[in-house]
Structure 1
Amino acid sequence: MTSYSQLARLCAQRAPKLVTLTLLCALSVLPLNIFLPSLAHIARDFQTDYALVSLSLAGYAAVSVILELIMGPMSDRYGRRPIVVISLAFFTVGSIGCALASNIWAFLAFRSLQAAITSCYPVLMAIIRDTAGKEQTASRIGYAAMIWALAPMIGPALGGLVDEALGWRAIFWGLALAGTTMLTVCWFQLGETNRTRSGSIAQQFRAYAALFRAPRFWGACRKLSGLTVC
């Protein structure tokens, strides 16, 4: 009989499937604005200002930026699989907390916790580079980029339908279910792909100085911000 430790080692060695990476990519960006049509309903239920509820968007974005800067180097040092699993766990807890929140402050706190899912996107790019050859890398990154662009467009429409039928809390219950499902799938299907881990976490963060001085980096940021506004 296979022991739990043997099963865990086997799961950690499995190569990730493209469908798993694609679904995880969609989930990493879908929560950003899926509840956008529900902002007024949330403000009414919590009896608070609309502007305060809108902080759930700005705060989420701010936490996302910080986490993406941190979790990428962390995955280089400690591995891709732990970062993805931990991010999904925090996201699921945050989604449940948002669904159960009784006041705006609890909602905002759990909404910030939800932002952990955004760490998965840069880690997914690293996983693709780890596992795909030169011919496949561009193709797989193209699929991920397409999903990354489409999910925020579909999100508000989907969220509006759910809100109209079941209420805004159902959106977050749905996200919690998606997080639980992806956590289970990744636990059994997402193996560790980082075979050449960095020597220290400080070494990774020192590379940011050179990155921030690169004109190509800021050019890419401007293009990305333009796509996001559109």
Structure 2
Amino acid sequence: MSHSVPPSTGHRGALRPSALLTALLVSVGSYALMQTMIVPALPVLTRELDTDPSTAGWLITAFMLGSAVLTPVVGSLGDRYGHRRMMLVSLGVFLLSTLGAAFAPGVPFLIVMRAFEGISMATLPLALTLIREKMPPERTVSAFGLTSAMIGGGAGLGMVVGGLLIDSASWRWMFGVESVLIAIALLLVVVYVPETSRQRTGHTATPARLDLPGAILLAASMSALLLAVTQGSAWGWGSGRVIGLFVLAAVLLAALGTVETRRAAPLVDIRLLRHGPMFVTTVATLLIGAIPFLFYVLLPPLLQTPESAGAPYGHGLSVIEAGLLLLPGAIGTMIAGRLGPMLSHRFGARAPLFAAMALMAAGGVLMAVWHGSVLQIGVIFVLVGFGSGFGFAALASLVAKIVPRRDLAAGNSLNTVVRTIGSAIGSQLATVLLQSSIVSSTGLPTDDAFGQGFWLAGGLGVAGIVLTVALRVHPYESAGAPTGAVDTAKAGAV
């Protein structure tokens, strides 16, 4: 029998919703900063660690890969041992790996530490579950929107903070400063976050064992897919190695689907994808993960290339100047995250998602056509920032409306994993576009490479608009789901 833990602040006094939300926001924000803080440092790391751009790109990919694999594992353990406890474990591993990165002797060790840092992504689904369980009902929707918006806003702020630290100190200080923030998050969780009752997994009274086969298949399939995307230009897209990796990824994903549908408590509950609205929402999640990262990877070199380098697009900004130019877009992400629930309440659950896709599509098209001045880039990126914020708010709201309460942890876990995979694919696609069009005389990408990347972002946004129009939101009714959970989901459905 599961035992409910009374709502308390650790062991001290009554629950304080504002303090609880602050602790969760700082925890999620520490992850959000770290996912992009390293982006402006890639040229510096490539030079100082004596490596090549393709290898340096794995400092982003390893983080995303670690997130995709470790997040559902931690979520499953949260169902079994408690979500607060696993939040503390996640932040602890995050802190240790970040300190390890600060003292990394070389790029291989740094890539490994970045993979372990990926566990920090688990703070998002854990935070959403804690909000659902512990926040007053009247504050749940706004807390969902704010927490989800922290992801996009923190990602934008991460580029600014990373640029500032690189300009004024060593790249190692990025990880040192981040370690302080993680330590603060740990302390806040210890003091202000109560434990949830242990969740029932599947339809049994006690949580099932960890889905180790699912974790292995997920890690192997994502590694094969991302390695193929990363090395496609270097090895040749038609080479046996690249084709073999794509085939291997497809086979492993098929095996993952087979294994997960047969388990009572799967690591990634693919059965949710049998429900049409959840399937469409998941594909939209993939796009919302990919599109912003196309901009995150493409814009720094576009802005920082010196005008004297011989490229037609050089703007000659410093790292910090480029980060400050993108800061309004990051602020727009957080504002849109707060506006998302209001938009949903007034115009329906699909409205924030439609706004997200429309704004990011417009941003991609406009950036492809006009990126000749710093002012144009800054203004257009604000559109992308608002789109990203609406997207993050929409995903949290849609999953809550579609998935019954008993399956909410599984739905958030699936949503988080898919968005992380989208982010990894988006960053790698942008890297591949830049590396595949290097001008031998300058060693820099062509202007067409940036244009193609922005057109790709616009096209993905248009695809997202089509998906949104096709989406019909109604709750998923799993076999054996409690009537109350289904009724609750129906009450919020459109």
TM-score class normalised by the smaller sequence: 0.7 to 0.9
In structure 2, the partner of 1:10 is 11
In structure 2, the partner of 1:189 is 192
Distance verdict in 2 for CA 1:184–1:12, change over 3 Å: farther
Identify, as 1 or 2, the structure richer in helix. 1
Matched, 1:61 2:61: no
Matched, 1:200 2:201: no
Match of 1:161 among 143, 164, 167: 164
Find the residue that maps to 2:105 and give its secondary structure.
coil
Larger relative contact order (Cα-Cα within 8 Å, sequence gap ≥ 6): 1
Distance across 1 between alignment mates of 2:82 and 2:189: 14
Q: After superposition, give the CA deviation of every residue in 1:41-61 in whole Å (9 maximum; x if it has no partner).
A: 111111111210110111111
% identical aligned pairs: 20
The answer for unaligned runs of 5 or more in structure 2 is 1-8, 210-263, 293-494
In structure 1, the partner of 2:271 is 210
In structure 1, the partner of 2:74 is 71
Code of the residue aligned with 2:194 in structure 1: it is: G
In structure 2, the partner of 1:152 is 155
Matched, 1:43 2:46: yes
Q: Report if aligned partners of 1:159, 1:171 keep a CA contact under 8 Å in 2.
A: yes
Match of 1:139 among 123, 139, 142: 142
Q: Report if aligned partners of 1:34, 1:159 keep a CA contact under 8 Å in 2.
A: yes
- TM-superposed CA distance for 1:20, in Å, is 1.1
Distance across 1 between alignment mates of 2:98 and 2:10: 29
Distance across 2 between alignment mates of 1:171 and 1:111: 13
Distance across 1 between alignment mates of 2:87 and 2:192: 12
Structure 1 or 2, whichever has the larger Rg, is 2
In structure 1, the partner of 2:280 is 219
Distance across 2 between alignment mates of 1:175 and 1:206: 29
Match of 1:52 among 55, 72, 96: 55
Q: Report if aligned partners of 1:78, 1:197 keep a CA contact under 8 Å in 2.
A: no
Q: Report if aligned partners of 2:42, 2:56 keep a CA contact under 8 Å in 1.
A: yes
TM-score (norm 1): 0.88
Find the residue that maps to 2:11 and give its secondary structure.
helix
- TM-superposed CA distance for 1:170, in Å, is 0.5
In structure 2, the partner of 1:3 is none
Code of the residue aligned with 2:11 in structure 1: it is: L
Code of the residue aligned with 1:10 in structure 2: it is: H
RMSD (Å), alpha carbons: 2.2
In structure 2, the partner of 1:19 is 22
- TM-superposed CA distance for 1:12, in Å, is 11
In structure 2, the partner of 1:29 is 32
Report which stretch shifted further, 197-206 or 76-85: 197-206
Find the residue that maps to 2:37 and give its secondary structure.
coil
Distance across 2 between alignment mates of 1:196 and 1:112: 28
Q: Report if aligned partners of 1:128, 1:140 keep a CA contact under 8 Å in 2.
A: yes
Q: After superposition, give the CA deviation of every residue in 1:52-108 in whole Å (9 maximum; x if it has no partner).
A: 011011111111111222222221111011110110111111111111001111101
Report which stretch shifted further, 100-109 or 68-77: 68-77
Matched, 1:113 2:120: no
Q: Report if aligned partners of 2:10, 2:190 keep a CA contact under 8 Å in 1.
A: no
Q: Report if aligned partners of 1:13, 1:191 keep a CA contact under 8 Å in 2.
A: no
The answer for unaligned runs of 5 or more in structure 1 is 1-7
In structure 1, the partner of 2:363 is none
- TM-superposed CA distance for 1:36, in Å, is 0.6
Match of 2:102 among 72, 80, 99: 99
Code of the residue aligned with 2:43 in structure 1: it is: A
Q: Report if aligned partners of 2:27, 2:182 keep a CA contact under 8 Å in 1.
A: no
- TM-superposed CA distance for 1:197, in Å, is 4.6
Distance across 2 between alignment mates of 1:207 and 1:111: 23
Q: How many residues align structurally?
A: 223
Q: Report if aligned partners of 1:12, 1:188 keep a CA contact under 8 Å in 2.
A: no
Distance across 1 between alignment mates of 2:53 and 2:120: 25
Find the residue that maps to 2:65 and give its secondary structure.
helix
Q: Report if aligned partners of 1:127, 1:194 keep a CA contact under 8 Å in 2.
A: no
Distance across 2 between alignment mates of 1:165 and 1:72: 38
